[in-house]
Structure 1
Amino acid sequence: MKKILSSLFFYTLSGIGISLTLKADIGVSSFNSLNVAIASISEIKVGTITILMNTLFLILFIFLSKQKQYSKYLFMFLSVLCLGSIINFFSYTLLAPVNIENYFLKLALFILGTCVAGFATGMVISLDVLPFPIESVCIVLSKSTGYSFAKFRYGIDLFSVTVSLLLSMIYNLQIFVREGTLISLFLLSGVISFTKINFEPYLPNQKVAK
């Protein structure tokens, strides 16, 4: 239960980090670029779209899983609900009155948000009790097909970026795939890897590789 509560905390922290990157307004990560584009078209809050999209991946994960763990699925859904709710609260309530005009401050805010989200994601992965639905689907597909996890994960990123750009052109939206997307592509994975390497050995019930 302690690891579940810790995972929920880091889901919350990830939501805060994502909210900071949204506030910076210099582009967002690949998957979030799709969420933001859909939110702009539908006028549904981006956190709510995040919940819906992750829930779709959770349903797909449940369908693909051979051994059903319904209690785990419930907690994964609660984690996704927490993530989206935090994004909505910070983006539309807490950070809404804040106005940032200076580009370098926006850049600094984006980097901070990416680092926070990357650290939180790395901790969730290291705790290994409530994985993110997208990564869970990629792992299952990798095991069943023999193709690498990275191919499926990058495939989702490529699909998200492509659809986001198409939606921006079709509906005359601003382009959400910008410099922040490129920064996120390299920085996010780096922070996640750093977190796993440096913090995973100190977590409860984790074995240090010799």
Structure 2
Amino acid sequence: MSLKTISHSLLFYFISALGISLSIKAMVGVSSFNALNTALSDVLHLKVGTITTILNLFFLSICWLMDMKRDKKHYLLMLVSLISFGEIINLFLYSLLSQITFTSYGLRLLIFTLGTAIGGFGTGQVLRLDLLKFPIESFCLLVSERSQRSFAFYRYSFDILCVGLSLLLTYLFSLSLFVREGTLISLFLLSGAIGWSKNLFASPETLVVPIPEDNCASERAADS
């Protein structure tokens, strides 16, 4: 765990936060996990980054309890990075981007696409460095190891749950609709951006064919 790897991982973690912030700011829908975060943010009157941190730390705590090979230093680093991740989202959404309004629908789609690509790039680099983990992915992997279901089953089930809860909160509290066309766009664009980014700086000898579960983890990691 070199200082260079830590600093680079944190940098790309924060680039991913910038991408998420732009995709939310575009207001054309967001990815499944962020759809739940934004809905909870409106209901609880808390900032989106704060909700993101709370949910990520919740899953990190569960991973800590389930992980028999837990590394205390690694979990401490994850704790700090997740708190910082949420604060960076808040910084962008409520300070740096707060005075910017995208009125044109075409421009909002463009900003969403750009944000998704940036988020995918940052996430792919985090996965390439293989230091910081995404709590939800780690949780699904730990559960799959203790059951007869695959990682993909639990990860996609989580996505469906997030979308369902977001729609339920929207109905119950008359919120803005966060599950929209952007949700579908991110389903296809995000996985491609993550896969491209993950292999961008990889040397030829490291370019191996991943097993299906690992590939799915890479593609879905940006929602954490």
Fold in common (TM above 0.5): yes
Counterpart position of 2:44: 42
Give the conservation status (yes or no) of the 8 Å contact 2:199–2:207.
Answer: no
Counterpart position of 1:126: 128
Give the conservation status (yes or no) of the 8 Å contact 1:123–1:200.
Answer: no
Where in structure 1 do 4 or more consecutive aligned residues deviate above 4 Å?
A: none
Give the conservation status (yes or no) of the 8 Å contact 1:11–1:82.
Answer: no
3-state SS, counterpart of residue 199 of structure 2 = helix
Give the conservation status (yes or no) of the 8 Å contact 2:26–2:109.
Answer: yes
Counterpart position of 2:213: none
Residues 147-183 of structure 1 show CA distances to partners (whole Å, capped at 9, x for unaligned) of 2222111111100000000000000111110000000
Q: Quote how far apart the aligned CAs of 1:208 are.
A: 4.2
Counterpart position of 1:207: 206
Structure 2, unaligned stretches of length 5 or more? Answer: 210-224
Task: Provide the C-alpha distance between the structure 1 equivalents of 2:81 and 2:202, rounded to a whole number of angstroms.
Answer: 20
Give the conservation status (yes or no) of the 8 Å contact 1:13–1:120.
Answer: yes
Query: What TM-score, normalized to structure 1?
Result: 0.94
Q: Which amino acid aligns with 1:97?
A: Q
3-state SS, counterpart of residue 199 of structure 1 = coil
Counterpart position of 1:171: 173
Counterpart position of 1:89: 91
Counterpart position of 2:217: none
Task: Provide the C-alpha distance between the structure 2 equivalents of 1:49 and 1:156, rounded to a whole number of angstroms.
Answer: 17
3-state SS, counterpart of residue 193 of structure 1 = helix
2:34 to 32, 35, 38: 32
3-state SS, counterpart of residue 201 of structure 2 = helix
Q: Which amino acid aligns with 2:63?
A: F
Counterpart position of 1:114: 116
Structure 1, unaligned stretches of length 5 or more? Answer: none
Counterpart position of 2:221: none
Q: Quote how far apart the aligned CAs of 1:209 are.
A: 3.4
1:5 to 2, 7, 14: 7
Task: Provide the C-alpha distance between the structure 1 equivalents of 2:35 and 2:202, rounded to a whole number of angstroms.
Answer: 29
Task: Provide the C-alpha distance between the structure 1 equivalents of 2:78 and 2:143, rounded to a whole number of angstroms.
Answer: 18
Give matches, 1:46-61, under 5 Å. 46-61=48-63
Q: Quote how far apart the aligned CAs of 1:50 are.
A: 0.4
Seq. identity, %: 46
Task: Provide the C-alpha distance between the structure 1 equivalents of 2:168 and 2:206, rounded to a whole number of angstroms.
Answer: 45
1:156 to 152, 155, 158: 158
Task: Provide the C-alpha distance between the structure 1 equivalents of 2:77 and 2:202, rounded to a whole number of angstroms.
Answer: 21
Query: What TM-score, normalized to structure 2?
Result: 0.88
Q: Which amino acid aligns with 1:199?
A: F
Q: Aligned residues, how many? A: 207
CA RMSD of aligned residues (A): 1.5
Counterpart position of 1:194: 196
Q: Which amino acid aligns with 2:17?
A: G
Cα gap change, 1:143/1:157 in structure 2, threshold over 3 Å: closer, same or farther? same
Give the conservation status (yes or no) of the 8 Å contact 1:127–1:200.
Answer: no
Cα gap change, 1:208/1:184 in structure 2, threshold over 3 Å: closer, same or farther? closer
Counterpart position of 1:73: 75
Task: Provide the C-alpha distance between the structure 2 equivalents of 1:209 and 1:96, rounded to a whole number of angstroms.
Answer: 43
Give the conservation status (yes or no) of the 8 Å contact 2:56–2:82.
Answer: yes
Task: Provide the C-alpha distance between the structure 2 equivalents of 1:194 and 1:145, rounded to a whole number of angstroms.
Answer: 31
Task: Provide the C-alpha distance between the structure 2 equivalents of 1:18 and 1:33, rounded to a whole number of angstroms.
Answer: 11
Q: Quote how far apart the aligned CAs of 1:145 are.
A: 1.9
